[in-house]
């Protein structure tokens, strides 16, 4: 296991990255009492729940199994978690373990933040997207019909354990969706990593173990630095939302689950790069390299045709980065140099939204 640290003072925690699976010795320091509840879904639980239970013989381990899919990331499904915890008479010393992808991690984390005003939880992400992004940093929550991730809390896990062997059962489209978030780190802050991705995308798509381990470690290291500097997104952390304002609008408009999160973010990054180019901030060559890398990851680069400019603007207006009525976007000054800005032309934004 390789170890990174998210430095947040007394709430600091480790990120463990390895391919040898999880054992009790690794988790025990982060579980305070015997009661452990694993929150998973109907896809992941049959694959990994019994294996996890078997490596925790010293604990009373039970499960809460949620339906799989972004469309189930709702307050109504959250209530199932609370009801199960109450039926099982879980107290404030219970530890919740999120076993699954980003939806499971976000919902389990939100349940932990709010059940009896806060209990411990551990992240065991099983998708590439969750491993490189959503499991790290303490963003938890659910979607609303009017906007994605609009209800939630900042609440940090006790630790994150990334077992890369779980990627062997990950569907190809889910792997590609995770690569969108990996590409994001190169675009927003790490130009050398962007070049590495250009050179190694085929290996990542072929699930080369060494390439995946490197990409996960470098992505997590980037996110850990940003979160440590700006836990609650007062400034620098907003850079992690490159492509997300556009992407969240697509997910909301098309219906949660119709587009995978990473697919929508991939299009959003192309749109951000396009607007940055039109602003004169990003060179034509840098824009073309951005689109080419996303295409190499076999991800979409064009917004759905049914998305109108008006619909985009309507949904973007409720984005969490809107401040004092002003829309802020994460744009690019260069490859590896993201910036959060409201200093862009609305006419150029509309042209970007209309382009297909």
The residues carrying an active-site annotation are 117, 139, 181, 223, 233, 237, 241, 244, 248, 261
CB 190 within 8 A of CB 218: yes
Alpha carbons 300 and 292: distance in angstroms, whole number: 11
Helix-helix angle 191-205:172-188, to 10 degrees: 170
The encoded tokens of residue 290 equal 């951005």
CB 174 within 8 A of CB 44: no
Alpha carbons 243 and 264: distance in angstroms, whole number: 8
Alpha carbons 356 and 353: distance in angstroms, whole number: 8
Alpha carbons 121 and 263: distance in angstroms, whole number: 28
For every residue of 204-236, DSSP letters joined together read: HHTT-HHHHHHHHHHHHHHHHHHHHH-TT-SSG
3-state secondary structure of 128: helix
3-state secondary structure of 292: helix
CB atoms under 10 Å from CB of 254, counted, come to 15
Alpha carbons 109 and 112: distance in angstroms, whole number: 5
CB 3 within 8 A of CB 16: yes
Instruction: Give the residue carrying structure tokens 């200093």.
Output: 343
Q: What is the dihedral of CA 109, 111, 113, 118, to 10 degrees?
A: -130
3-state secondary structure of 263: helix
CA distance readout (Å), 124 to 6, 38, 68, 164: 16, 10, 16, 10
State phi, psi for 33 to the nearest 5 degrees: -145, 180
Q: What is the DSSP letter of 116?
A: G
């Amino acid at each position: 296991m390789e170890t990174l640290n998210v430095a947040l003072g007394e709430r600091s925690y480790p990120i463990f990255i390895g391919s040898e699976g999880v054992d009790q010795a690794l988790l025990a320091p982060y579980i305070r009492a015997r009661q452990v509840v694993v929150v998973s879904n109907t896809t992941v639980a049959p694959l990994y729940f019994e294996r996890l239970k078997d490596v925790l013989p010293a604990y009373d381990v039970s499960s809460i199994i949620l339906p799989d899919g972004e469309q189930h990331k709702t307050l109504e499904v959250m209530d199932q978690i609370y009801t199960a915890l109450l039926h099982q008479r879980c107290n404030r010393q219970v530890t919740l373990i999120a076993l699954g992808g980003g939806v499971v991690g976000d919902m389990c984390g939100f349940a932990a933040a709010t059940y009896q005003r806060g209990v411990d939880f551990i992240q065991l992400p099983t998708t590439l997207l969750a491993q490189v992004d959503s499991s790290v940093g303490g963003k938890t929550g659910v979607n609303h019909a009017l906007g994605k991730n609009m209800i939630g809390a900042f609440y940090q896990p006790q630790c994150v354990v990334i077992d890369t062997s779980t990627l062997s059962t990950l569907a190809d489209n889910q792997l590609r969706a995770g690569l969108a978030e990996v590409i994001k780190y190169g675009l927003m802050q790490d130009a050398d990593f962007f070049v590495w991705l250009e050179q190694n995308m085929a290996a990542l798509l072929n699930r080369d173990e060494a390439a995946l381990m490197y990409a996960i470690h470098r992505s997590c290291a980037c996110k850990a630095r940003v979160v440590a500097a700006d836990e609650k997104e007062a400034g620098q952390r907003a850079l992690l939302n490159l492509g997300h304002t556009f992407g969240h609008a697509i997910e909301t408009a098309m219906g949660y689950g119709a587009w995978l999160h990473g697919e929508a973010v991939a299009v959003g990054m192309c749109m951000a790069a396009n607007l940055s180019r039109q602003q004169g901030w990003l060179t034509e060559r840098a824009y073309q390299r951005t689109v080419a890398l996303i295409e190499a990851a076999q991800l979409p680069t064009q917004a759905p045709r049914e998305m109108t400019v008006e619909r985009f603007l309507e949904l973007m207006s409720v984005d969490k980065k809107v401040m004092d009525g002003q829309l802020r976007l994460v744009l690019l000054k260069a490859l590896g140099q993201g910036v959060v800005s409201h200093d862009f032309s609305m006419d150029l934004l509309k042209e970007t939204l209309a382009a297909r």
